[in-house]
Structures are given as structure tokens and as C-alpha cells.
Structure 1
Amino acid sequence: MVEPSDARTPRWVKVFAIAGVAVVVLVVVLLLTGHGPGRHLRHGGSRPVPSAPGGPAW
């Protein structure tokens, strides 16, 4: 039979679990406060027109 003291979770597992939870919480907070990827999308749906010849070709 395995002793309870021998069945501990390794430290690296705990570190990765805490880091993963922190990342998930950060993403949720950013999405709820309006700092998600949607703010970088164009809401008009049209592509911008270059203002001068030789400008960036969108």
C-alpha cells in the first residue's frame, strides 16, 4: 500500500497548474474588460484604401 506522504504531486506539476490558471484568469479578465482580439478587427468590413500611390497595398 502507498503511504500518503509518498503520493505527493510533483512540484513541477503544481507550478504548471498555477501558471495555467493564471493565464486563463488573465485572458478572461482581458476579454471582459474589452482588451480582447476583437478590438483589433475592423468593424466596417471593408478594406482601407491607400492614401497615396506606392503606399502599403492592403
Structure 2
Amino acid sequence: MFVSKGSSRTVQRAVCLLLSVVIVAGSFSAWAYGAERDSHPGYSITITQLQ
């Protein structure tokens, strides 16, 4: 199958853009997951007021 150079460049740009979006979205997701995980250290503290 023959593909013209113009459409080949268009496909290459589209694939590159798609990969960039996936990488950026993955980085943001990993950062958000880490921030959420760090905000819940696995223990809880209960504060009661004595009267």
C-alpha cells in the first residue's frame, strides 16, 4: 500500500500528539494519586473535649 508523504506526516503528527496527551495525562494522574495517598497516612486521630 502506498501512502503519500503529506498524509504520512499528518499521521505521524497525530500519533505524536496522542502519545503526548497520554504521557501528560498519566503524569497528572500519578501526581494526583500520590498527593491523595499522602494526605491519608493510614492512621486516624480522634480528639475529644473533656468537660
Q: Which has the higher contact order (CA 8 A, sep 6+)?
A: 1
What's the TM-score once normalised by structure 2's chain length? 0.49
When you count helix as a share of all residues, which structure comes out higher? 2
What's the TM-score once normalised by structure 1's chain length? 0.43
